[in-house]
Chains A and B, each alone.
Chain A
């Protein structure tokens, strides 16, 4: 199957060009730093309070653990998005520019199979990366404090979906634009999602409908940030959810993205992939 041949080739390229190794080493460095920070904060906070076994004390401790875990996942989420964009920005544009694509597309394969194969290869790469990083963050929380965030599977799935979404948009752009233009557009889009998310949260806090609408529109343009906020909300304990104190990076999640937005993101990804396939299939190489 040509799709799997290309997927394997894509994966192999990441290995041969030491992308995987670099990501792995930096990931380990991140996890070491994170575990150190986690440990310091836990002991610091713990030492300033008399140890009691009251229900509220347990809730507070688990709240702190949750905060620290989500802070780690927020960083991982960002790193995975950057990884997804960086590995895929050059993949089609670079091969078109250098001419390596010519010997591939003149084989008895569909161009769509080349795009889908690359997508699959990156999807595998990102899955591996997330397993390492999310697994690492969770292992730290569990090892140091026996803590596990709620709705783990759900949260991981949403983070993976967000990473795939950014990678898919980048892949589509890479088949249409130069590598640099692809990078510029994808970071512009990411910026829209990021700022849009902030505006929406402020709007929700201040009950300003216009600000909320701006956030919703930005989530329609690129629904990546909404996925992270949904993931962070899902992984927050119900008590904190009720209090409106779900942590999602620099902001608390006040306005929670609906399930509909998750379905929108899935549909968005599929449509973007289809556009990418179509654009590459029609392009002069």
Chain B
């Protein structure tokens, strides 16, 4: 019996000669906000499309909410905001939500109050009778988000949900994700805006060349990533060797070294060691690595090309 909202096993997709996704294996727990990160061309979109049944995997398998891919009963409990949020723009917002609610199999009695509630949530109630072609990019994204939440889903896929939004809109998305989490909804978030991911996600997966290269709790990842800059005289090679016991990625540049350590608790020990080695310490500065720094550290700067 699985309790995973998403479980994939070596999911692979080839397009003719190209391998878009080499072998995606990951588990997303129910109720968590899961960030799906990677450079352009890493296979993120193809992966999401496979999970949603838009693209058939070449091999491998996966379950969503315990059901195999493409299961229609499971789909009734899944919400999806597509990346480019292109919708039938000759429909009004009201008609658009009605259409998608009906496709979810929702009754008119259930749909009507839900649409009111969602239009309020995304702030589009005054524009409910306007055709979508009159909407700005940000408004389209909001109505797309409302569409993805119509069925009060157990699992939501948000593909770049904030790319067209201003800061107010982004905060709205953040609040919505937090609210979804409170209700126990699982959110699968694909985003390039790492600052957003840092705020909202419980766990993140880094994907490159169509493979998961690292999955981690976001907190552990960020907490664990402290770098220390030491400015001192007397940093001899034996001292540098000795320092490497506390961390990795040691870089020395004259009187200054930078070292990535497990966490801040290493700092006093480093200081004691330096003093004992007769090093004259001028500064010992801890620095938190941002998710962006980590992204580049993990994925590399080659952009996955």
A interface residues, Cβ below 8 angstroms from B: 2, 5, 9, 12-13, 16-17, 98-100, 102-110, 282, 284-285
Contact = CB atoms under 8 A, between A and B. Distances in A.
B100 to A, nearest CB: 7
Interface stretch (B86-94, B183-191, B217-225): B86-94
A103 B217 CA distance: 31
Interface string B37-60: 000000000000100111110000
Given A5-B99, A99-B82, A100-B86, 14 more contacts: A98-B86, A102-B80, A103-B80, A103-B82, A103-B147, A106-B53, A106-B75, A107-B103, A108-B73, A108-B75, A108-B104, A110-B72, A285-B49, A285-B55
Contacts of A9: 88, 99
Contact of A104 (B76, B103, B105): B103
B24 interface: no
Interface of B: 15, 49, 52-56, 72-73, 75-76, 78, 80, 82-84, 86-88, 90-91, 99-100, 102-105, 144, 147
Contacts of A13: 88, 90
B210 to A, nearest CB: 15
Contacts of A106: 52-54, 75, 78, 80
Contacts, number: 64
Contacts of B100: 103, 107
A100 B87 contact: yes
A107 B87 CA distance: 14
Q: Is the interface of A mostly helix, strand, loop or mixed?
A: helix
26 contacts: A5-B99, A5-B102, A5-B103, A13-B88, A16-B91, A17-B90, A99-B83, A100-B86, A102-B52, A102-B80, A102-B82, A102-B86, A103-B82, A103-B144, A106-B52, A106-B54, A106-B80, A107-B75, A107-B100, A107-B104, A108-B72, A108-B75, A108-B104, A108-B105, A284-B55, A284-B56
* Pairs A-B, 5 closest by C-beta atoms: A107-B103, A16-B90, A99-B86, A108-B76, A108-B75
B54 A100 contact: no
Contact of A103 (B53, B56, B87): B87
Contacts of B82: 99, 102-103
Nearest to A110: B72
B103 A2 contact: yes
Given A5-B99, A103-B100, A107-B100, A284 B54 contact: yes
A12 B102 CA distance: 15
Contacts of B75: 106-108
